[in-house]
Homo-oligomer: A and B are copies of this chain.
């Protein structure tokens, strides 16, 4: 459940902008990658030191600096210094609990969002904090871990085909955000499959694990929702922003991205609806089953308890019990027993219990 928390873990009262990494510390080195390109050329470098990219700040080529790993706050602070980023922004970058956010700082634009993966093994949605900063000639992206959804974007840049090399850093920003949102669809798809599986279980013979799985799914949609809903405002903020960093040509793509974001948000809500319907159904199934159990018990008990009583009567040891001596008494008792039993069965049929 920990992920539902997403809280700010800055030492309370510490100065705003104090950099402190709050995610789970990973014992890895930070990976720094740089792709510098324009319509004519491309330069892809694995940087050993973050300062290597500083000269590119003012060159007219588009520079995409990608940082994998947020725990080395020194690197981030240096980069922030060199690119003139506000301390509060840096705080939001290392704070993995930060919710999706758009902020226009004038000289640059800041976007925070979540990368989500649905782990089919454990049925959990895993979330990774992504921060993007768009400047006049550069985009800086900060990720929590190695591995991302951006390889296709890199390949499009490398191949030089299509629009991407001809357009500015704002289009690159859009491409990165679009790649993340595209992956939301993949995540939703995986969750949808799991929901269908649960649905089949529900129609079959659901047990407590089914209920717990449905409950777990509900939690995951809460996480999805927290990642996706604020994103609507982020993208629409980007769309409505009057910053000159976002060129007019990119605007139609951002509107399209907004449309996709709404579609994801919509689907998350539909999932919630469907899941709450599944829980209602589960409860009804359990209730129905209990009813069935009760009916079986009642039928058996109602038939045999009176019969056992009859048998008990003639098991009494009174000396003066005239029936005991009658010759056909035993057969008469059997007939009574059968008659009572049949009457009961007819009665239950009428009640539609049988």
Contacts and interface: CB of A to CB of B under 8 A. Distances in A.
A298 B287 contact: no
A317 interface: yes
Copies of the chain in the assembly: 5
* Majority SS at the chain A contact face: helix
Interface stretch (A32-40, A59-67, A325-333): A325-333
B305 A301 contact: yes
Interface in A310-350: 311-321, 323-330, 333
Interface string A280-312: 111111111111111111101110111111011
Contacts of A162: 15
A267 interface: yes
A219 to B, nearest CB: 7
A277 B330 contact: no
A283 B294 contact: no
Contacts of A256: 16, 88
Contacts of A283: 283-284, 287
Contacts of A267: 5-7
Interface string A254-276: 01100110110011001101100
A47 interface: no
Interface in A203-245: 203, 205, 208, 211-212, 215, 218-219, 222, 226, 230
B277 A218 contact: yes
Contact of A12 (B86, B149, B196, B226): B149
A307 B310 CA distance: 10
Contacts of A199: 1
Query: Which of A88, A101, A300, A353 has the largest number of chain B CB atoms within 10 A?
Result: A300
Interface string A1-26: 11011111111111110000000000
A324 B333 contact: no
A192 interface: yes
A189 interface: yes
A201 interface: no
How extensive is the interface on chain A, given as a class? Answer: 35 or more
Interface stretch (A74-82, A119-127, A128-136, A150-158): A150-158
A182 to B, nearest CB: 4
A164 interface: yes
A352 interface: yes
A279 interface: yes
A127 to B, nearest CB: 13
A56 interface: no
A88 B260 CA distance: 12
A328 B318 CA distance: 9
- Top 9 nearest A-B pairs (CB, nearest first) are A13-B152, A311-B312, A12-B182, A314-B316, A297-B298, A315-B315, A318-B330, A13-B179, A300-B302
14 contacts: A5-B189, A10-B182, A12-B185, A16-B175, A88-B256, A289-B291, A296-B302, A297-B302, A305-B308, A307-B309, A311-B312, A320-B329, A320-B330, A321-B330
Given A6-B267, A283-B284, A311-B316, 18 more contacts: A4-B271, A5-B188, A12-B149, A13-B182, A16-B175, A16-B253, A88-B253, A279-B284, A290-B294, A296-B298, A301-B305, A307-B312, A308-B309, A312-B312, A314-B316, A314-B317, A318-B324, A318-B326
